[in-house]
Amino acid sequence: MQIFRCSSFAAAAAAAALAVTVLAPKPAEAQSAACVNLLVGAGYAAWMGVEFAGTYHWSSSFPIGQHRCIKLPVKDMVDGNTYRVVVSAVLGSSKVPCTPEPSPYSSSNTSSVVYNAWGTTLNVHCEMPSAETTAVVEGVDITPSEAGLKALEKHKTEGELPPPTE
């Protein structure tokens, strides 16, 4: 059993979130993969997905402090197609769209779109890092919440969960 010290774990997670915020691409560059970082202050484990043409393409489940990506293009996606990135809390039932929506798919672009997710099971937030959202995320508690730690421990003991049904 691995034991984390909250202060060092939170500090490492905060540094990772800052790196993602600083290095994140702009929406117009978002094409080779869609990714979501689940910030340490979140109170849930999640799946992230790409919704295209009415179909969801899901990642494996992941706990706080981790990220998942879906390689683009997904099945049948071609240049100019629009798509959405969504997050679903493991114990929730919603598919929350990340904002802003990514630009239409372009195979000539090799960058990725990156979003940060936080909140609680019933109040999921997912936004692309920007000057405005960085201020919001900086206000999020970087200490792992009790619910987030429970979700992390459950993920460690039970492993990945199957994605939500459509």
Residue 10 predicted with pLDDT over 50 = no
- How do the domains of the chain map onto residue ranges? 6-157
At 41, the pLDDT band (50, 70, 90 cuts) reads confident
Residue 151 predicted with pLDDT over 60 = yes
pLDDT, tens only, 94-148: 899 999 999 999 999 889 999 999 998 889 999 999 766 555 556 555 566 676 6
Looking only at the bridges linking them, the beta strands covering 84-89 and 46-52 are: antiparallel
- Of residues 66, 63, 65, 77, the one with CA closest to residue 33: 77
- Read off the pTM: 0.69
